[in-house]
Amino acid sequence: MSSDDASPRTLRDLLSALRRGLIDADKARSSARGRLERGGPLEAGGLADLLGLNDAGQGEDELQQQLQSECQFLEGVPFQPGSCIGGKYEVRKILRGGFGLVYLCRSLAPELYHRGDSLAALKCPLPQHLTDPELCELFVAEAVNSVALTPHPNLVLAYGVEMHNRIPFLVMEHITGGRTLVEEIENGRTDWRTTLRHGLDMARGLAHAAQEAQLIHGDLKPPNVLITGDGVAKVSDFGLSLSADAAGADGLIAGTDGFMAPEMVARRTGRSTVADVYAYGVTLLCAVLGRFPEAARPGDLCTAAHMPEPLAALLRECLAIDPAARPANFQIIAARLEGMSGFLLGARPSQPAAPDAPLRADALVNAAQTWLNLGQPRKAQAEVEHALRLNSANWKAHQIQNCIHLERRDFDAAYRSAKQARQLALDEPGPAANLAQAAMSLGRRDDALTWLDLALELAYESGRMGELDGSSLLFVELLPAEQALQVLDAIVTAQPGAAITWNNRAILLRRMKQPAEALASADHAIALNAAYAKAWTNRANALIELHRFAEAQTSASTALDLDPCLPGAYCAKATSLAQQGRLPEARAAIRSGLSLLPADPLLLRAAQVFAE
pLDDT of residue 38: 41
pLDDT of residue 50: 41
What mean pLDDT comes out for the span 454-472?
92
Give the distance from CA 76 to its chain's centroid.
17
pLDDT band at 88 (very low <50, low <70, confident <90, very high): confident
pLDDT band at 146 (very low <50, low <70, confident <90, very high): confident
Q: Domain tally for the chain?
A: 5
Q: Examine residue 327 and state whether it is found in any structural domain, yes or no.
A: yes
Nearest to 432 by CA among 393, 464, 407: 464
Domain stops at, among 345, 365, 400: 345
Which of helix, strand or coil describes residue 368? helix
* Same domain assignment for residues 24 and 164: no
Start-to-end CA span in the chain (Å): 67
Cβ contact 130:116 at 8 Å: no
pLDDT of residue 27: 60
Nearest to 521 by CA among 566, 488, 476: 488
* Same domain assignment for residues 38 and 158: no
Q: What is the C-alpha separation between 25 and 427, in angstroms, rounded?
A: 42
**Assessment of whether the complete model's pTM goes beyond 0.95:** no
Question: For 120-142, how does the pLDDT look when each residue is reduced to its tens digit (9 = 90+)?
Answer: 888 888 776 777 777 777 777 77
Strands 167-173, 179-180: pairing kind: unpaired
Q: Examine residue 282 and state whether it is found in any structural domain, yes or no.
A: yes
Q: Examine residue 573 and state whether it is found in any structural domain, yes or no.
A: yes
Domain stops at, among 127, 157, 173: 173
Which of helix, strand or coil describes residue 162? strand
* Same domain assignment for residues 188 and 151: no
* Same domain assignment for residues 319 and 190: yes
Q: What is the dihedral angle through the alpha carbons of 245, 249, 255, 258, rounded to the nearest 10 degrees?
A: 110
pLDDT band at 406 (very low <50, low <70, confident <90, very high): very high
* Same domain assignment for residues 262 and 315: yes
Q: Examine residue 384 and state whether it is found in any structural domain, yes or no.
A: no
Nearest to 241 by CA among 315, 137, 150, 392: 137
Question: For 251-274, how does the pLDDT look when each residue is reduced to its tens digit (9 = 90+)?
Answer: 455 567 788 888 887 776 667 889
Task: Provide the CATH number for the domain around residue 290.
Answer: 1.10.510.10
Is 335 or 15 the better-scoring residue by pLDDT?
335
pLDDT of residue 369: 85
Is 580 or 531 the better-scoring residue by pLDDT?
580
Q: What is the C-alpha separation between 235 and 237, in angstroms, rounded?
A: 7
pLDDT of residue 45: 35
Strands 215-216, 233-235: pairing kind: unpaired
Beta bridge partners, 194, equal none
The residues, any chain, with a CB within 8 Å of residue 248's CB and separated by 6 or more, are: none
Task: Provide the CATH number for the domain around residue 125.
Answer: 3.30.200.20
User: Which one of 13, 201, 219, 237 is the catalytic residue?
Assistant: 219
* Same domain assignment for residues 148 and 203: no
Domain stops at, among 146, 173, 200: 173
Is 233 or 163 the better-scoring residue by pLDDT?
233
Beta bridge partners, 106, equal 90, 119
Q: What are phi and psi of 92, to 5 degrees?
A: -110, -35
What mean pLDDT comes out for the span 394-421?
94
pLDDT band at 62 (very low <50, low <70, confident <90, very high): low
Nearest to 127 by CA among 80, 161, 65, 78: 78
pLDDT of residue 598: 92
Nearest to 428 by CA among 111, 162, 118: 111
* Same domain assignment for residues 221 and 326: yes
Distances (CA, A) of 164 to 168, 403, 556: 7, 16, 23
Task: Give the rounded percent of residues in the chain with a pLDDT score beyond 70.
Answer: 81
User: In terms of residue numbers, what domain contains 24?
Assistant: 11-75
CB count within 10 Å of CB 214 equals 15
The reply to whether 13 belongs to the active site is: no
Given a cut of 80, is residue 80 above it in pLDDT? no
Given a cut of 90, is residue 357 above it in pLDDT? no
The residues, any chain, with a CB within 8 Å of residue 257's CB and separated by 6 or more, are: 52, 53
The most confident of the ranges 166-170, 216-220, 318-322 is 318-322
Lowest mean pLDDT of 255-259, 330-334, 436-440, name the range.
255-259
pLDDT band at 242 (very low <50, low <70, confident <90, very high): low
* Same domain assignment for residues 606 and 500: no
pLDDT of residue 76: 57
Distances (CA, A) of 437 to 8, 167, 455: 59, 22, 11
Q: What is the C-alpha separation between 181 and 292, in angstroms, rounded?
A: 13
Given a cut of 90, is residue 307 above it in pLDDT? yes
pLDDT of residue 476: 96
Cβ contact 368:387 at 8 Å: yes
By CB atoms closer than 10 A (0-12, 13-18, 19+), residue 522 is buried
